Amino acid sequence: MDNSAILRQVRTRRKEIAITFDDGPNADYTPAILTMLSEVSGKATFYMIGEQIEANPDVVRAVDKEGHEIGNHTYSHPYLTRISPNECRQELKRTDTLIRKLTGKRPLTFRPPYLDYNEEVIAISKGEGYQMIGALNTETRDWEQPGADYILDKSLAHIGQGNILLFHDGYGDRSQTLQAFGRLLGILDERGYRLVTVSEMLASDRSE
């Protein structure tokens, strides 16, 4: 299988990093993250689930209004390798339509739920015009609430130019993620990193 089809980092000469959030939008945690990002003039990419978009349209608009990127994370968060190609395609199309309706913009990037994909998913993603996005710090497992210190430590190991980091703002208690993220923001600021969206980092790669 072509593992290069999913990007975990982008080649760039600039000191920038892409923070991403999965499984939102959430009425409590997503706005809190937006506030934290605004305090450091940072941007992030939010991989949203269609069902959660329908439940929290105002949060979607707020994310877009503040200049963050919204990516496609399917409609119902299935394991894409366990459903038919047509069902997979509909999962993407349905969420694409919702994002366009609320923001007027077409999502450019896609993250498969559970980072579960195969050649068929890669082909469908490309066919729908998406760049598929992974992450480097998957061992943080912040969705399991392993503790803010653990989440932070596992993320610090992957700080680097052009790197893509993954956290979660939806489903369950995300207070540990917010604690770790707040501390991470301070460290990134001290080290001189600029927080950009995934698409912005991809664009800077192509311009160099």
Write out the catalytic residue numbers. Answer: 22, 168
Residues 205 and 208: their CA atoms lie apart, in Å, by 6
Residues 11 and 36: their CA atoms lie apart, in Å, by 27
Type of residue at 52: Q
* Closest C-alpha to 124, from 93, 103, 170, 152: 93
Angle at CA of residue 92, ends 27 and 196, nearest 5° = 60
Residues 181 and 192: their CA atoms lie apart, in Å, by 16
